[in-house]
Each structure stands twice: as structure tokens, then as C-alpha cells.
Amino acid sequence: MDALTTWLEKYILPVAAKIGAQKHLVALRDAFIGTLPATMAGSVAVMINAIIRDLPPQFIDGYDGNTIPVIKEIIAINGFVWNGTLAIAGIIFVFSWGYNIARAYGVNELSGGIVALAASIAGITFSFAGEITDLTLDPTTVDAINSNEAGWTATTTGITANGWGWLPLSNLDSNFFFTAMIIGFVATMIFVKLMLADITIKLPESVPPAVSKAFASIIPATAALYAVAVFYWLFAKLVPDMTFLDWLQETIAKPLLGLSQGFGAVILVTFFVQLFWFFGIHGPNVLAPILEGVFGVAQLKNVNLFQEGGAALVNAEGYKWVRGSFDAYSWFGGSGGTIVLILAILIFSKRADYRTVANLSVGPGIFNINEPVMFGLPIVLNPIMFIPFLIGPIVSVSIGYFATIWGWVNPVSQQVAWVTPPFLLSFLATGADWRAPIVTLVAFLATFVIWIPFVIAANKMDPALGEGKMEDAE
């Protein structure tokens, strides 16, 4: 065990530390975190609608929340919240992404966010055209269609629809994330480099700072937006049948999201989260580009599908494993399922130091805060904790994964706050599926069984000797 720990410290820890400190990955992580006020508000709206509109019909025949006076008004209000949050989650993210890149380089953050947003939206098609033939329309209907101002025309045999100034929601929600990551990054980096090169408009010191900063951003922002515009123009010439956003979705986003649904990908992410945490590096933060950029995008897709058609639509068209699935079925008490370790210590440990830390960690652990036990026990760099800390989450994730894939429980379709206590979290995250807490309980018990022998083995260790080893390791 000591040899394995030494090897990991020598070869894995330096790489993990570099990844955790990489400027652009930190900015990406912070960009996702920055969207939380909006995405959580939207998720609360969807979750409330799930409870008052979608859950009751499972138990009450004939229930229809849209026909109950008070309930239908609450549903409508939640719909407005969704419109301004999850329905345009991509727009919110891309501004946060540009803002955080600019902040990482110490230039005008607000302008960085605006440049990323403008550059990304510039590639969206504002018009549409379509035609339906082989119809039989009466003259009154034809006249009504031809008299509208939307640009539609009709004959007795068909309808031709043309319009401009339309931004499809499918281009503004989670589908927008991958485009934003690429275009937003490139545009903001052009802006950043020109700002750092001081290719700016300089005004006298007597001009208010806000005005000076805005004028200083004009040349870099204009250059960045024109560079992106030229790219869009060339892409349209080379690929005339689809936008860059559509092409990116088909060639990169969908295959990447598809790969994320494989068991191997889920286990690999779980493994590295635990491995980084063992060395005291926040695993979910290091892997945020994958957890949030891939699994998080899949989760937003599920949330929107649930808003449109409930659990049935999520099961039919949604993703089976998303970001919240890790929280629901494995990270109870925090990464590693450490609330299970606390319970095992309280039942089986005879060590006063372990029991003291466990007693102090129960409260935070219930709300998935595991730093007290992670660094107080400690789990970090503690050889006897390595195997269960690594294996336990892999087992629990496997249980949750196959229960979802086999249709025993609905996929996660709600974005629930990570501090929500276990069991309640999985219940709410799956749109109030009563089977989800049962799956969580099975995963919980399996992890508990894995921890027990290691907690008992720790009873035989001299606490003073264990602390000495930790000091040497540090």
C-alpha cells in the first residue's frame, strides 16, 4: 500500500495539480459555477411543477393541475421562470465563460463576456423557410394566412412559411454550450490578446473610468467579432446546408454525449474524481470540464425534456446518466459517499480520534459537506482509506447506472441543490420517482459493507503511528 501511494504521489499528483491550476480549465469551471443562480432558479421552477403537476397523477386518477385554479397559476409562473433560465441556459453560460476568461487574464471582464456572447449568437440563423404541399385549404383559411404579417403565403394546395428575426430555443439552451465553449473561447482570447498588447483607444485621464474602459475595449472587441464573422462566412461557403452550431452538434456534441453514456466512461470519471480527492485535490473541480461540460449539458437536456413532456419524454428521448446521477447514487455525504464512512465509524470503530471526527462530521455530512471527515480523519493520503474510498463509489455508481439503464428508475431530470440530504436528493432529482431512494439505499448499503472491514482494521492501528506516517507523507 505504501509503495502504491508513493507511486501515485510521484506520477499522478503532479499531473493532477497542474490540471487543477490550469488557467483555462479554472475559468471553465468558474463559468459553470457562475450560471448556478439562473440554472438553480429554473430547476426549482421545473421541480415545483413536477411535484404539483406531474407527481399527483401517479396516485390520483383524473388529476390535472392545469385545471385547478391556484395550481395552474403557479405552473404558469414557473413557466416564466423557466423561459428566462433553462430555456436560454446557453446564452447565460457563454457570457459567464467570456467573463471568466477575461478575468483570468486580468482584462475587462464585462467586455469579455459581451464579446463571447455576441460572437456565439452571430452564428445562429435568424430566418427560416419551409413548405407544405398536398393540402386542401378552403379560401377563408388561405386569405387568413396571406393577410398575416409573418411572411407566410398560402394557396388552396399548400403553405409556404418564411420568417426572419427568430431565435430557436433549441439553439439557445444546453445545445448552445459546445458552440459557446469553442467560439466564445476563440473570440474572447482574440479580445484578451489585443487588450494585453495594448491595441486600444486611449482617452485622457479626466474621462470617467467606466467610459475609458469601454472605449479601450472597442478595437479588440471589433477585431474579435470580425474574425469570428469571417469564419462563419467561410463555413457557410464550405458547408451551405447547416450552421456551424448544427455541424458542431452533429459531429462533436452528440458523439461526445453518446460516449458519456457508456459504462466505461462513467466509471473512469468516478475513478479519477476519487483519485484526485485522495491527494487532497477537489476531484469534481478538476474534472469540471467533463462533469459540467458533458454530463451537465446532458442534465439540462433532461430538465428541458421534463418541462415539455414529463418523465415519459425523458425516458424516451433523454440521457440516462447525467451530472446529478453521481450525486443521487454515489456522492451521498460528498464525493466518495463519506456519510457511509461516518456511519461505519460510529458503529464499528473503537478509536477515540475517529469517533470524535465522525461525531463532528455527521451534521455537515447530512448536507453532503465532507471536508471535516476528508481532512479531519483524514481520508486524504491515508493508506488504509485508499481502497474503500476508491472502490465504494465505483460500486455505488454501477448500481445507480444499471438501475437507470434497465429502466428500474427514471433518469435524473431535475437539477437539485447539492446540499440536499441523500435519499431526498435522488427522489427530487428523478422527478419524484419513489423508486430512486430505494436504489440510493441499495448503493448506500453496498458502500457501507465495503467500508466496514477497513474501519475495523483501523482499530488495530496505533493512532500515534498513523499520525506519524501522515506527517511524513506531508
Q: Which amino acid is at 5?
A: T
Q: How many CB atoms lie within 10 A of CB 307?
A: 22
DSSP string, 232-249: HHHHHHH-TTS-HHHHHI
Cβ 97 vs Cβ 186: under 8 Å: no
Higher pLDDT, 48 or 345: 345
Cβ 124 vs Cβ 179: under 8 Å: no
Q: Which helix (H) or strand (E) holds 158?
A: strand 158-164
Average pLDDT over residues 30-57: 78
Which of 25-29, 148-152, 222-226 has the least mean pLDDT?
148-152
Cβ 94 vs Cβ 185: under 8 Å: no
The confidence score (pLDDT) of residue 221 equals 94
Instruction: Find cell 473512469 and name the residue.
Output: 268
Look at residue 8 and tell me whether its pLDDT is greater than 90.
Answer: no
Higher pLDDT, 202 or 166: 202
Higher pLDDT, 217 or 53: 217
- Local structure of 393: helix, strand or coil: helix
- Local structure of 130: helix, strand or coil: strand
Residues whose CB is less than 8 angstroms from the CB of residue 144 and which lie 6 or more positions away in sequence, other chains included:
none
Look at residue 365 and tell me whether its pLDDT is greater than 60.
Answer: yes
The confidence score (pLDDT) of residue 102 equals 94
Distance between CA atoms of residues 125 and 144, nearest Å: 27
Length of the chain: 474
The confidence score (pLDDT) of residue 406 equals 94
**What is the tens place of the pLDDT at every residue in 69-84?**
888 899 899 889 888 8
How many helices and strands in the chain, by DSSP H and E?
A: 26, 3
Query: How many CA atoms lie within 13 Å of 92's alpha carbon, on the beta-carbon side?
Result: 23
Residues whose CB is less than 8 angstroms from the CB of residue 94 and which lie 6 or more positions away in sequence, other chains included:
116, 117, 120, 176, 180, 184
Question: What DSSP state is assigned to residue 390?
Answer: H
The confidence score (pLDDT) of residue 445 equals 95
| Residue 473 pLDDT class (50, 70, 90 cuts) | very low
Average pLDDT over residues 331-336: 85
The confidence score (pLDDT) of residue 15 equals 64
| Residue 467 pLDDT class (50, 70, 90 cuts) | very low
| Residue 464 pLDDT class (50, 70, 90 cuts) | very low
Look at residue 466 and tell me whether its pLDDT is greater than 50.
Answer: no
Cβ 75 vs Cβ 69: under 8 Å: no
Indicate the average pLDDT of the chain.
81
Average pLDDT over residues 328-336: 87
Look at residue 140 and tell me whether its pLDDT is greater than 70.
Answer: yes
The closest of 207, 203, 233 to 218, measured between CA atoms, is 203
Average pLDDT over residues 381-392: 83
The confidence score (pLDDT) of residue 458 equals 79
Distance between CA atoms of residues 364 and 67, nearest Å: 42
| Residue 281 pLDDT class (50, 70, 90 cuts) | low
The confidence score (pLDDT) of residue 115 equals 95
Look at residue 136 and tell me whether its pLDDT is greater than 70.
Answer: yes
Look at residue 426 and tell me whether its pLDDT is greater than 70.
Answer: yes
Distance between CA atoms of residues 5 and 183, nearest Å: 41
Average pLDDT over residues 5-29: 67
**What is the tens place of the pLDDT at every residue in 45-57?**
877 887 787 767 7
Residue 213 grid cell? 474602459
With pLDDT > 90 as the criterion, what percentage of the chain qualifies?
26
Q: Which helix (H) or strand (E) holds 154?
A: strand 153-155
pTM across the whole model: 0.67
Q: Which amino acid is at 309?
A: G
The closest of 90, 255, 118, 102 to 179, measured between CA atoms, is 90
| Residue 66 pLDDT class (50, 70, 90 cuts) | confident
The confidence score (pLDDT) of residue 436 equals 93
Integer CA distances (angstroms), 202 to 11, 25, 33, in order: 49, 32, 34
Higher pLDDT, 143 or 313: 313
| Residue 474 pLDDT class (50, 70, 90 cuts) | very low
Question: What DSSP state is assigned to residue 259?
Answer: H
The confidence score (pLDDT) of residue 109 equals 93
Which of 1-5, 79-83, 327-331 has the least mean pLDDT?
1-5
The confidence score (pLDDT) of residue 470 equals 37
The confidence score (pLDDT) of residue 20 equals 60
| Residue 465 pLDDT class (50, 70, 90 cuts) | very low
Look at residue 25 and tell me whether its pLDDT is greater than 70.
Answer: yes
| Residue 101 pLDDT class (50, 70, 90 cuts) | very high
Residues whose CB is less than 8 angstroms from the CB of residue 149 and which lie 6 or more positions away in sequence, other chains included:
none
Look at residue 176 and tell me whether its pLDDT is greater than 50.
Answer: yes
The confidence score (pLDDT) of residue 97 equals 92
